[in-house]
Amino acid sequence: MHKSFRFYVQLGLTLLVCAFLIIPIILSMLAGITDNFFIGWSSGFTTRWIVQVWDTYQVTIWRSIAIALACLVVTTLVGVPLAYMLARHKGGNSRLARAIEELLMMPVAVPGLATALALIMAYGQYREFRSSLLFILVGHVMFTLPFMVRPVLAVMQSAQLPVLEEAAASLGAGPLQRFFGIVIPNVFSGILAGALMVVTLSIGEFNITWMLHTPLTMTLPVGLADSYASMRLEVGSAYTLIFFLMIIPLLIAMQWVTHTTRSRVRL
């Protein structure tokens, strides 16, 4: 059978879209190691810009990693039990649970600017808090919490948790034994998927952080915005390159996890 005209139109469009999404990434990575992007690659390649970014902005990178990890810890400790409640309260059909789910999405729906403004208005007067990394962390936790809750909740809902728990109960396991022995191991893939998402989003969060940060709490994306505005294109590109090197492995891991989750969740 010959491929139809339609096939080639769709193929062409797909390639175009892929190019649109991927080429800028590649271009910016190349720009980060080009000696002079204005002249082009003929100017040669260099690690100068990367070294410069590393010198200038290294601290923002470590800071962002630290915040992302802290964010992961908090969202896991708080989000997994929360998802459990959403999945199980009143057999998973409670209005309260749906309302909470809705509420949790609000910090994602509402522009980050507003969340940040609200945090500053409400807690800006506590100087120690305001000028510490905790302040940024709070913003990140609010924004990323639903991204932990949702995949965990989804796995909980598809993993026949109620039946598994009933089975465990029939074998004599009490509520806590069930939560740690049955629930947690069986939603681990959801936690992993959520964790990767949380870390990724936290590392890249700009809209909230931009308003929340102080000179001592500048994060990677804020630094990126700075460098885009006030530095050579090559420096901004080098910084972006570093960002990509941090984030892309996480994204690939995420792909892998969701892939294996899907095949494992089915019971």
Partner 1 sequence: MKNAVSIQLIQCGKTFANGAQALQPIELAIRPGETVVLLGPSGCGKTTTLRLIAGLEFPDAGGQVLFDGEDVTGLPIEKRGVGMVFQNYALFPNMTVGENIAYGLKIRKIPAAQRLKKIDALLEMVHLQGLGQRRIDQLSGGQKQRVALARALAVEPRVLLLDEPLTALDAKLRETLRADLNQLLRTLGITTIYVTHDQSEAMALGDRVVVMERGKIAQIGTPQDIYYRPVSHFVADFIGTMNRVTGVAGGGQVRFSGGQLPYAVSAAGSQATLMFRPEDVEVVADGMGTANMHGEILSTFFLGDRTRLHVNVGAGQAVVVDTGRSASWQVGQRIALRVPEHALLHFQDEVAA
Partner 2 sequence: MLPKLPKPRSQRQRYLWFALPGMTLFLAFWLLPMLRLLAVGASGPTGAAAYLAVVTNHRYLMSLIATLLLSALVTLTTLLISVLVGLFLQRNRFAGKSLLLAMLTFPLAFPGVVVGFMVIMLAGRQGLIGGVSNWLFGDAWVFAYSLGGLFLGYLYFSIPRVILTVMAAAEKLDPALEEAARSLGANPLQVFSNVVLPALTPALISSGAICFATSVGAFGTAFTLATNIDVLPMVIYNEFTSYANFAMAAALSIVLGAMTWLVLALARSWSGNTAAAAA
Partner 3 sequence: QNAICYNCPPEWADWATQIKAIKDKTGITVPPDNKNSGQSLSQIIAEKASPVADFTYVGVTFGIEAKKREVTTPYKPVGWNEIPNELKDPDGYWFTIHSGTMGLMVNVDALKGKPVPRSWQDLLKPEYKGLIGYLDPASAFVGYVGAVAINQALGGTLENFNPGINFLKALQKNQPIVPKQTSYARLLSGEIPILFGYDFDAYRAKYKDKANVAFVIPSEGTLSVPYVVSLVKNGPNPANAKKVLDFLLSNEGQAIWANAYLRPVRASAMSKEAQAHFLPAAEYARAKSIDYSKMAEGQRAFSERYQAEVR
Binding residues for partner 3 restricted to 26-45, rule: CB under 8 A:
37-38
Report which secondary-structure segment, H or E, holds 43: strand 40-45
DSSP helix/strand/coil, 3: coil
Instruction: List Cβ neighbours of 79 (8 Å cut-off, separation of 6 or more).
Output: 145, 148, 149, 152, 194
Q: Which of 18, 51, 113, 216 binds partner 3 (CB under 8 A)?
A: 216
Residue among 185 and 215 whose Cβ is closer to partner 1: 185
The window from 50-58, 65-73, 102-110, 184-192 that contacts partner 2 (CB under 8 A) reads: 102-110
Binding residues for partner 2 restricted to 109-138, rule: CB under 8 A:
109-115, 117-119, 121-123, 138
**Are the beta carbons of 239 and 57 closer than 8 angstroms?**
yes
Residue among 102 and 166 whose Cβ is closer to partner 1: 166
Q: Which of 54, 179, 206, 228 binds partner 3 (CB under 8 A)?
A: 228
DSSP helix/strand/coil, 21: helix
Selection from partner 3, partner 1, partner 2, none that 214 binds (CB < 5 to 8 A by kind) is partner 3
Q: How far is CA 92 from CA 2, 85, 154, 232, 265, in A?
A: 50, 8, 12, 54, 18
> Does 145 interact with partner 2 (rule: CB under 8 A)?
yes
Cα–Cα distance measured from residue 218 to residue 65, given in angstroms and rounded to the nearest whole number: 12
> Does 247 interact with partner 3 (rule: CB under 8 A)?
no
What is Dmax (Cα atoms) for the chain? 73
- Do strands 40-45 and 34-36 pair parallel, antiparallel, or not at all (unpaired)? antiparallel
> Does 49 interact with partner 3 (rule: CB under 8 A)?
no
Contact residues: partner 1, CB under 8 A: 1, 90, 159-160, 163-164, 166-174, 177, 181-182, 185-186, 188, 264, 267
Contact residues: partner 3, CB under 8 A: 37-38, 56, 120-121, 124-127, 130-131, 214-216, 218, 222, 226-233, 235-236
